[in-house]
Amino acid sequence: MKRIILTAMPIFLIGMAACSFVRTVPMIKEDELPESCEGLVPLIKKKWKKKKEQDYYRYDQEFLDKLQNEYKDCVLALSLEETIKLFGNTPVKLFGAPYSEWGKEPYLFYFLKPGCIGYPQDCELLVFRIKNGLVKEVYIQKHEFIEESK
């Protein structure tokens, strides 16, 4: 009996942890996107997951590599609206918009770790830089809160 419990417990814990993330369902169909985006919608459905209780997403390096290499032409042809429809709503909402604006260029941020909420501690962001209505760059940016010493 003890052996069964010891075997079942890790499976149960892994299952509980996995259930706390939900798959992202893009709000745009693949045939509404450029031809270079073929296969991106299923990839997002499979690899881009949002933490239920908190506003951050989980990804893996394979997903990021494909986004930056295989789907580079696709991503760099997306509008701000298409990007939001593909990747979901972002928790960064400034002035009623789902992005922040530095100067005249908007940036769309997606939190990738729970450390991004509140004061950034071990925070990573997926950043889309938008120029003239289209994505011009996509990259991961790391942030850490550094307290001023007295």
Quickly state the pLDDT bin for 55 (edges 50, 70, 90): confident
Tokens of 137: 């760059």
pLDDT tens profile 30-47: 999 999 999 999 999 999
Tokens of 30: 């693949």
Residue 6, CA atoms < 13 Å, CB-side half-sphere: 3
Which residues are CB-contacts of 8 (< 8 A; sequence separation ≥ 6)?
Answer: none
What is the side-by-side strand order in the sheet with 100-102?
100-102, 105-111, 123-131, 134-143
Domain ranges within the chain, ordered by starting residue: 2-143
User: What is the rounded CA–CA span in Å between residue 140 and residue 69?
Assistant: 14
The answer to whether the predicted template modeling score (pTM) of the entire model surpasses 0.85 is no
| Structural element, H or E, at residue 57 | strand 57-58
- 65-69, 105-109, 130-134: range with highest mean pLDDT: 65-69
